[in-house]
């Protein structure tokens, strides 16, 4: 099966229950943002910018769990910010599992290996020793860290940890192969860490997914190579979404990078060009989402936005109308459902009801539409059923030939190379969107002024735990 049976059945039961009760609007996936602090400052991320004045705020654990209960979505995607910075992340995952939810931890992977070492220390025994040896031999755990795991004290053994489960996925942010990914996340070495974390996770028996945002500069062939490589690594599934110029990201592009957002983000037409092969990819790789949503991306049909099915809860409450756009925050999910005029949003028959929705084709608006039968066409249910129950694509054999680490060609670090290339090539033409505008250098250093506040916050958040 393409997706684990238990998870597919859980989601199917949820939809059938609400269809039988004729519930007009209900949640499928909760986007839970316990905090907005992040250790990276990716190009195109509106989150850390929109909530820049509340980076120090966190949603208390109990409130996070209550929000999940309230909307009762079968799936919870814990995002942020970087959720692994949240001091109670282990307790949050445990609490959501107690509620019976499917969990995705959306992470940039920089703290994943640390969290998995905590798990190993808490369960250290002869079986774990065998895995530890393998991890050390593959240089995924250092000898020094291995000793810490072996000598785990009572506190380490009693610690709540994030253990492998068929109900949980690490969902790692990967926007391309090494060169591209590190440029987009604006720090060298991140891709390498992502790959190391994913390899370690697979050895330990975790489920791993990736999520990729496609931008105007994204090379489609590189995306296909990336999927080949990731499938060969044993990654269990992929989400792919178009990056469009939603408010906060657009403002950042203009203000911080001095760039025209149109040079970076996708319009609907360009999205459809970039996603032309999405249905082929759906056959070759385990792409999450329905085939109906894939047809929408490929330009074969239209869908109506169902943003209410993937609500976002964060430090300010229930964010409306969607993950990307903010017209208000509400205290309760039901309150948001009744007070928001949903007819004001989305694109219907090619006409944007709100100009900000014009280029949007993202998951949080349209993926549930495919599953819920909005704009139903004859045969859709069978198509979705067949896709879910078909056998899982095998790891792609060509993955091992992909030159994933493609950014070290001058031996000084590829961002230095990128900087040199950008300065030369764009001396008399517009700057690359990845070229910073004097706020930072391009070496991956965090010395820039706008990261100092973030780093201080991370230190503060981590302090009580040591
Ligand atoms: S990892 Fe990047 S995209 Fe994700 S929250 Fe941090 S800055 Fe934003
Ligand atoms: S189309 Fe839907 S998901 Fe997209 S920006 Fe508009 S309201 Fe949000």
Q: Output the DSSP codes for 239-301.
A: EEEE----HHHHHHHHHTT---GGGTSPPHHHHHHHTTTHHHHHHHS-B-S-HHHHHHHTTS-
Residue by residue, DSSP assigns 154-217 as HHHHHS------TTEEEEEE--SSHHHHHHHTTSTTHHHHHHHHHHHHHHHT-EEEEEEEE-TT
- Residue 111, pLDDT > 80, answer yes
Q: Is residue 407 part of a domain?
A: no
Average pLDDT, integer, range 140-160: 97
Q: Are residues 244 and 300 in the same domain?
A: yes
What distances in angstroms separate CA 377 from CA 67, 161, 360, 418, one per listed residue?
34, 45, 22, 47
> Range with the lowest mean pLDDT among 33-37, 205-209, 391-395, 423-427?
423-427
Q: Is residue 327 part of a domain?
A: yes
Alpha carbon 441 to its chain's center: 26
Residue nearest to atom 8 of ligand 1 (CA): 45
Residue by residue, DSSP assigns 356-400 as GGTT---HHHHHHHHHHTTT--TTHHHHHHHHHHSPPPPPPGGGG
Regarding the beta carbon of 78 and ligand 1, being less than 6 Å apart is answered: no
Average pLDDT, integer, range 337-359: 91
Q: Are residues 344 and 427 in the same domain?
A: no
Q: Are residues 355 and 454 in the same domain?
A: no
- Residue 122, pLDDT > 50, answer yes
What is the per-residue pLDDT for 159?
97
Q: Are residues 341 and 442 in the same domain?
A: no
Q: Is residue 406 part of a domain?
A: no
Other CB atoms within a 10 A radius of the CB of residue 421 amount to 14
Query: Ligand 1 test: best mutation among 185, 212, 457, most atoms within 8 Å of CB?
Result: 185
Q: For residues 307-339, b (16+ Cβ closer than 10 Å) or e, as one string?
A: bbbbbbbbbbbbbbbbbbbbeeebeebeebbee
Tokens 């203000």 label which residue? 255
CA 325 to centroid of ligand 2, rounded, Å: 7
Q: Tell me which of 374, 401, 428 is where a domain ends.
A: 401
Q: Are residues 179 and 315 in the same domain?
A: yes
Regarding the beta carbon of 36 and ligand 1, being less than 6 Å apart is answered: no
How far apart are alpha carbons 77 and 310 in whole angstroms?
Answer: 10
Residue pLDDT, tens place only, 407-433: 743 444 444 444 554 455 444 443 333
Torsion of CA 22, 24, 28, 30, to 10 degrees: -140
Q: Is residue 141 part of a domain?
A: no
CA 248 to centroid of ligand 2, rounded, Å: 14
Q: Are residues 75 and 206 in the same domain?
A: yes
Check: CB of residue 34 under 8 Å from CB of residue 83.
yes
Q: Tell me which of 401, 427, 442 is where a domain ends.
A: 401
Q: Is residue 386 part of a domain?
A: yes
Sorted by sequence, the CB contacts under 8 Å of residue 251 that are 6+ apart come out as 46, 49
Regarding the beta carbon of 39 and ligand 1, being less than 6 Å apart is answered: no
Q: Is residue 144 part of a domain?
A: no
Residue nearest to atom 5 of ligand 2 (CA): 357
Copy the structure tokens of residue 148. Answer: 């810490």
How far apart are alpha carbons 91 and 88 in whole angstroms?
Answer: 5
- Residue 326, pLDDT > 60, answer yes
Ligand nearest to the CA of 367: 2
What is the per-residue pLDDT for 441?
30
pLDDT band at 180 (very low <50, low <70, confident <90, very high): confident
Q: Which residues line ligand 2 (CB under 6 A)?
A: 305, 307, 321-322, 324-325, 345-346, 356-357, 360, 362, 364-365
End-to-end Cα, the chain, rounded Å: 43
What is the per-residue pLDDT for 15?
94
What is the per-residue pLDDT for 253?
61
Range of the domain at 447: 415-462
Copy the structure tokens of residue 292. Answer: 């109906």
Query: Ligand 2 test: best mutation among 321, 344, 366, most atoms within 8 Å of CB?
Result: 321
- Residue 24, pLDDT > 90, answer yes
Average pLDDT, integer, range 105-113: 98
What distances in angstroms separate CA 64 from CA 72, 153, 182, one per listed residue?
12, 30, 31
Copy the structure tokens of residue 213. Answer: 């945002």
CA 392 to centroid of ligand 1, rounded, Å: 30
Q: Are residues 307 and 445 in the same domain?
A: no
Q: Which of 241, 197, 5 is nearest to 84 (CA)?
A: 197
Regarding the beta carbon of 82 and ligand 1, being less than 6 Å apart is answered: yes
Check: CB of residue 259 under 8 Å from CB of residue 433.
yes
pLDDT band at 259 (very low <50, low <70, confident <90, very high): low
Atom of ligand 1 nearest to the CA of 81: 5
What is the per-residue pLDDT for 459?
53
Mean pLDDT taken over the chain: 86
Residue nearest to atom 1 of ligand 2 (CA): 346
Query: Ligand 2 test: best mutation among 362, 368, 374, 375, most atoms within 8 Å of CB?
Result: 362
> How many domains would you assign to the chain?
2
Collapsed DSSP state (helix, strand, coil) of residue 77: strand
Give 375 or 329, the one with higher predicted confidence: 329
What is the per-residue pLDDT for 415?
47
CA 235 to centroid of ligand 1, rounded, Å: 21
DSSP class of residue 87 equals T
CA 259 to centroid of ligand 1, rounded, Å: 19
Q: Are residues 283 and 250 in the same domain?
A: yes
Q: Is residue 432 part of a domain?
A: yes
Residue nearest to atom 3 of ligand 1 (CA): 45
Q: Are residues 385 and 449 in the same domain?
A: no
Residue pLDDT, tens place only, 33-69: 999 999 998 877 778 888 888 888 999 999 999 999 9
Element (H, E) at 129: helix 126-137
What is the per-residue pLDDT for 206?
98
Query: Ligand 1 test: best mutation among 33, 37, 38, 324, most atoms within 8 Å of CB?
Result: 38
DSSP class of residue 432 equals P
What is the per-residue pLDDT for 388?
86
Ligand nearest to the CA of 355: 2
Here the CATH number for the domain that contains residue 95 is: 3.20.20.70
Residue nearest to atom 2 of ligand 1 (CA): 42
Residue nearest to atom 6 of ligand 2 (CA): 357
Residue pLDDT, tens place only, 438-454: 333 322 333 333 444 44
What whole-number percentage of the chain has pLDDT above 90? Answer: 65
What is the per-residue pLDDT for 447?
33
Ligand nearest to the CA of 369: 2
Average pLDDT, integer, range 341-361: 90
What is the per-residue pLDDT for 432?
38
What is the per-residue pLDDT for 406?
85
Average pLDDT, integer, range 332-357: 93
Say if strands 317-321 and 312-314 run parallel, antiparallel, or are unpaired: antiparallel
Sign of CA dihedral 96, 36, 54, 334: negative
What is the per-residue pLDDT for 48?
83
Residue nearest to atom 4 of ligand 1 (CA): 81
Tokens 């049976």 label which residue? 5
Copy the structure tokens of residue 393. Answer: 């694509």
Q: Are residues 326 and 420 in the same domain?
A: no
Regarding the beta carbon of 181 and ligand 1, being less than 6 Å apart is answered: no
Q: Are residues 397 and 431 in the same domain?
A: no
Ligand nearest to the CA of 309: 2
- Rounded to two decimals, the pTM is 0.86
- Residue 121, pLDDT > 70, answer yes
Regarding the beta carbon of 243 and ligand 1, being less than 6 Å apart is answered: no
Q: Is residue 130 part of a domain?
A: no
CA 108 to centroid of ligand 1, rounded, Å: 7
Q: Are residues 396 and 424 in the same domain?
A: no
What is the per-residue pLDDT for 52?
86
């Amino acid at each position: 099966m393409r997706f684990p049976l238990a998870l597919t059945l859980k989601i199917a039961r949820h939809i059938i229950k609400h269809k039988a009760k004729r519930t007009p609007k209900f949640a499928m996936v909760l986007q839970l943002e316990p905090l907005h602090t992040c250790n990276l400052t990716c190009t195109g991320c509106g989150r850390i910018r929109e909530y820049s004045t509340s980076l120090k705020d966190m949603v208390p654990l109990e409130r996070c769990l209550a929000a999940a209960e309230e909307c009762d979505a079968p799936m919870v995607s814990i995002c942020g910010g970087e959720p692994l910075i949240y001091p109670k992340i282990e307790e949050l995952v445990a609490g959501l599992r107690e509620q019976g939810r499917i969990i995705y931890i959306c992470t940039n992977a920089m703290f994943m290996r640390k969290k998995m070492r905590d798990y190993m220390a808490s369960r250290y025994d002869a079986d774990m020793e065998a895995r530890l040896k393998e991890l050390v031999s593959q240089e995924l755990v250092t000898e020094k860290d291995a000793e810490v795991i072996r000598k785990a004290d009572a506190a380490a053994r009693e610690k709540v940890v994030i253990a492998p489960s068929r109900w949980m996925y690490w969902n790692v942010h990967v926007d391309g192969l090494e060169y591209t990914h590190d440029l987009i996340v604006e720090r060298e070495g991140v891709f390498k860490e992502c790959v190391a974390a994913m390899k370690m996770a697979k050895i330990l028996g975790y489920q791993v997914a990736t999520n990729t945002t496609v931008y105007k500069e994204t090379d489609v062939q590189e995306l296909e190579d990336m999927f080949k490589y990731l499938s060969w690594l044993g990654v269990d599934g992929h989400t792919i979404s178009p990056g469009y110029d939603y408010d906060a990201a657009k403002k950042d592009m203009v203000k911080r990078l001095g760039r025209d957002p149109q040079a970076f983000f996708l319009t609907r037409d360009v999205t459809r060009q970039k996603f032309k092969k999405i249905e082929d990819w759906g056959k070759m790789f385990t792409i999450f989402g329905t085939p109906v949503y894939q047809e929408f991306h490929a330009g074969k049909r239209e869908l109506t936005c169902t943003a209410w099915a993937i609500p976002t809860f964060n430090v300010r409450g229930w964010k409306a109308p969607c993950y990307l756009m903010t017209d208000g925050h509400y205290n309760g999910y039901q309150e948001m459902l009744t007070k928001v005029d949903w007819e004001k949003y989305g694109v219907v028959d090619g006409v944007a009801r709100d100009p900000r929705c014009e280029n949007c084709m993202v998951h949080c608006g349209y993926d549930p539409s495919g599953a819920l039968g909005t704009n139903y066409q004859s045969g859709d249910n069978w198509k979705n059923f067949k896709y879910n129950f078909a056998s899982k694509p095998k790891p792609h054999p060509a993955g091992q030939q992909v030159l994933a680490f493609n950014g070290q060609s001058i031996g000084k670090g590829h961002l230095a190379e990128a900087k040199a290339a950008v300065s030369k090539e764009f001396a008399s033409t517009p700057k690359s969107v990845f070229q910073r505008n004097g706020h930072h250098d391009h070496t991956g250093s965090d010395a820039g002024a706008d990261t100092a506040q973030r780093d201080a916050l991370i230190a503060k958040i981590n302090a009580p735990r040591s």
